[in-house]
Amino acid sequence: MDHDKYLHSFTQGIRHAFSHVVITLLAVGIAFSLPMIAKSILLYWPEIEGNSQLQIFMEISFAIVLVLLFNFSKIAWDGWRSMRMNKIASLVYAREGRDWMSRWKERDMRKKIASVRDVYIMSITGYDTFSSESCELQQQALDLAYEIRVMLANPYGKGVASRVQSLSGPEAMLQSYRHETEVSIAYLCKLTAAGKKVKLKFYEEPPFWKLVVAGEYVWVQYCRDGHEIKTQPEYVFGLQHGNPQRGFFEPFYKHFLDQWNDPRHPEFNFETSELVYRNGDGNEIQRGAFPLHVEECGLRS
């Protein structure tokens, strides 16, 4: 896989270099054909023709202008094509790390989720969403929302056990996941006490996506094996009102709903700290103890 990545990077670099060489040669060719063009167009060319230094200066200047013009045209074309593809995919925002540009864009996103009512979250432990300083925008959505649905990976399930094996220090990571899940449950308890409608479910499969659906926008991160989720790029897709089937908002939104409605995933009871299993009709069929000790909620002694 690394070989393919380096090969792709190398061929892409060669392609970019070749395109710039072609543009430069084309511009130089046009520039040095200036005498022939000028003789047929410019009346004052005979004055320049007699001055070899001025002629060379004009040809070089003209070549520079053409190189810049062709390169700017290519940049504009690539930018237009990229914007068109982003529009088709409904990509409204993407970031890798935090800088002033991402903070500026997040200020704009705050205005777009100012009236959000529902927030749906699918994560590993939820810690990066509920407690991380880098997720202020998503935390603001939680403050504004009334109904919050959360799906977390069962820290005692096979999926999390499989994931930590791909990370350095699997035993320490497993304990960290369990602690972070405990903190997330305590945070959700506080939201419940504040009068919000909060539901929490757990899934057993190895985590694949981190999703945060806030109104008409969905934040997406890929849970790559061997990498912590906070190191992965983040993408935001928006709903297109004119064509809701267009772009990636609907597939990710539907993925969350499909997982949420899957009866295999038990619901956490905040009053008893139990996992409640239901059948396809929503009727309770079984309960099981959840081993985490959530002291902050006051649900366990």
N-to-C CA span, the chain = 51
Q: What are phi and psi of 251, to 5 degrees?
A: -60, -45
Same domain, 275 and 140: yes
Same domain, 196 and 271: yes
Same domain, 52 and 147: no
What does the longest C-alpha to C-alpha distance in the chain come to?
A: 99
Q: Each residue's pLDDT tens digit in the chain (301 positions)?
A: 444 444 545 566 566 666 666 666 665 666 555 555 555 445 555 665 566 676 677 667 777 777 787 778 878 877 777 777 878 888 888 887 666 566 666 666 766 776 788 999 999 999 888 876 556 666 677 777 889 999 999 999 999 999 999 888 889 999 999 999 998 999 898 888 888 899 999 999 999 999 999 888 999 999 988 888 888 988 999 998 888 888 899 999 999 999 999 999 999 998 888 899 999 888 888 888 888 665 545 444 3
Same domain, 27 and 150: no
Last residue of a domain, one of 74, 89, 104: 89
| pLDDT attached to residue 88 | 82
Q: What are phi and psi of 82, to 5 degrees?
A: -65, -40
Q: Would you say residue 297 lies in a domain?
A: no
Range of the domain at 28: 2-89
Determine how many CB atoms are found less than 10 A away from the CB of residue 129.
25
Same domain, 11 and 81: yes
Same domain, 173 and 161: yes
Domain count, the chain: 2
User: Are 17 and 11 within 8 A, CB to CB?
Assistant: no
pTM: 0.71
Last residue of a domain, one of 67, 89, 111: 89
**How do the residues of the chain divide into helix, strand and coil, expressed in percent and rounded to 5?**
50, 20, 30
Same domain, 253 and 181: yes
Q: What are phi and psi of 214, to 5 degrees?
A: -125, 100
